[in-house]
Structure 1
Amino acid sequence: MNRIALIGTGLIGGSLGLAIRARHPETEVACFDASGDEAALALARGAATHIAPSAREAASGAELVVLAVPTGAVAEVLREIAPVLAPGTVVTDVASVKGPVVRAAREVLPPQVTFVGGHPMAGAEKGGMAHADALLFENAVYVLTPEAPGEAEGAAQTQGVGYTLPIPPSPFDRCPIPPEALWLVEAAGARAVRMDADRHDAVVASVSHLPQLLAVALVQHAAQTGDDALALAAGGFRDMTRIASSPFGMWGDILGANRDAVLGALDAFARGLGDLRAAVSAGATPDLREAFGQAAGVRDAIPSHSKGFLAPLAEVTLWAEDRVGFLAGVTGALSDAGLNIKDMELLRVREGAGGAFRLAFADGATADAAIGVLRARGLRAERR
């Protein structure tokens, strides 16, 4: 890729720029951000090669245009850049809602330009270029929502199809994904999954947008209970409500753009919560036991590394000692053995007593080899 345009250099756009420049330093990255300070920081940190004075000028001559702006601003930016896009240009975005964005692109962009909706499934509590990270998308799911040739508003849609899933061919499987979009996913270090735009919106309403609202509601409820409730809030409560710290700036756009799907998820959740309330009220222990069992089974089946979209990695549980340099010794030993950790998560820790890590590897053979290395160092490690 010779030249790309990066419009928006906040956490997501800035992280994409850093990842692209790290893997493809020869690629020219023209950036624009409505905040001159953010664009200047992107240039200073190496996420871009130069700053354009406008979105239109950034997009002019680019082979790939990445819109990393708030969901509500995508349509406006598309209208601005449409006149300067050369035939064959590929345009993509990173918005958390895909249906409205895909429809706006269909209305605004010339037919010789290809639009591919995109949603990298990664983020952080703090935004802005200052918190951008070249490794933000490493091994993350990156959803792409291409449209079939000639697809029109109201055309029949299929459910999302991931590359690794053995699902029979459907019309959606014929949707072409331009190599430029796949290049972007590779440059980000992520893994591409193809989905229909409206199906994507229904899924993220349930697994992303609804949990955000629930986290806000849980914290509000605890605060109303009293200061002593917050003083007793333990790790489980903090884990469930971590995302309540997310800034409203982006969520206002997301919840507005995906209103219908979010309302549907809220209604379905309210019905399920009502069923649990009725079981508690009636003292229906068998019903509650069944609900707990079903939830545990589903939760345990979720691939922790991929948010449920791709085949799971081979995982190892490592019991950790509470001492300085423990983790460095572990990663160093695995590196010396040529074993690459694909993902890592701290499961639990208690001062003075150690804790446990989840280590993920590409396949079972690598995981077994890692266990051998760790046990040779006198550590407790087992397959999950």
Structure 2
Amino acid sequence: MNEVLLRSLTPSVLGILVRRGADFAAAEDAVQDALVEAVRVWPDDPPRDPKGWLVTVAWRRFLDATRADTARRRREDLVDEEPAPGPAPATDDTLQLYFLCAHPSLTPSSAVALTLRAVGGLTTRQIAQAYLVPEATMAQRISRAKRTVSGVRFDQPGDVATVLRVLYLVFNEGYSGDVDLAAEAIRLARQVAGVIDHPEVSGLLALMLLHHARRAARTAPDGSLVPLAEQDRGRWDTALIAEGVTILQLALARDRLGEFQAQAAIAALHADAPAAEETDWVQIVEWYDELVALTDSPVVRLNRAVAVGEADGPRAGLAALAALDDSLPRHTAVAAYLHERDGDPSTAARLYAEAAHKAPNLAERDHLTRQAARLNTLRSA
């Protein structure tokens, strides 16, 4: 059975139930039940109309739940309204579902969880495994999110930027459990690109593709991180790079620059360099200047300091870094790198060790610890 096809039908099926009168929370539960039934039945008895099959089964599950509810009058009205079996309506409510799942009233973690379940078609167990939390905890998070948005009108205009931020959060989780969240985020971004014509949607999709293209080269066989400059570029996925660059060029041609397009442009410049030493750092600094103008983000300024250090020398990078708050994540690691580039291994080793204690995950901590040990070994040799 094609699980990707099954999940791709989830938003349209859910949208149909909501338009028929089901409230969002009950409709989403019914669709999940239908997906489970499809996994059980389809391998031996595949339907001619998968979407229509899911709509029929989900609607019946919803009606079964409604019959068990105490609101008898509304229940009977809905039963009377049950449509005759037939092809599923062609109305596509995918974008409205994205807006609902990324509603501003939700926390980022809740928006991500609800998006993965209601639009992505993942089970609560799969989402819990991906985020390394107990299934009961994730179930509570999703239930709270559904209650939060239950009063939001389904046809209410939403914010594309919020949807894109949620998808980028999903993408950055990468791979864990039995779900590849980076690949899932790309699939969902393609879905959004298919229902809305917006250059920032294209920018995000291009950015994801360009980052994902480097995935195989990011870790060594022992699981340790491989910095961009040291990656085997022969292991980069050239097809993904070509697709990402094409999508980005079409978006930039529309002259409506946004932060995801600018980030994708930086990623494209890295992808375009045959070797690390051939990277066009001057252009990268210019794109970071665009990003600073768009976002005024301290994290962007931090990354810009690294680029300045490559384009104009480590002392210029350190000068740019000095203007930033040293409590920023990765500030100490950047300072260590620039001091090493500036020929000060003693300071760099101390800062690498300090940065290792602040690292947000084990892989990054181990990498920084190795950098400190490498410099200390060189100094004592």
Query: Which structure has the greater CA radius of gyration?
Result: 2
Larger helix proportion, structure 1 or 2? 2
Higher relative contact order (CA 8 A, sep 6+): 1
Per the normalisation by structure 1, the TM-score is: 0.28
Larger strand proportion, structure 1 or 2? 1
Per the normalisation by structure 2, the TM-score is: 0.28
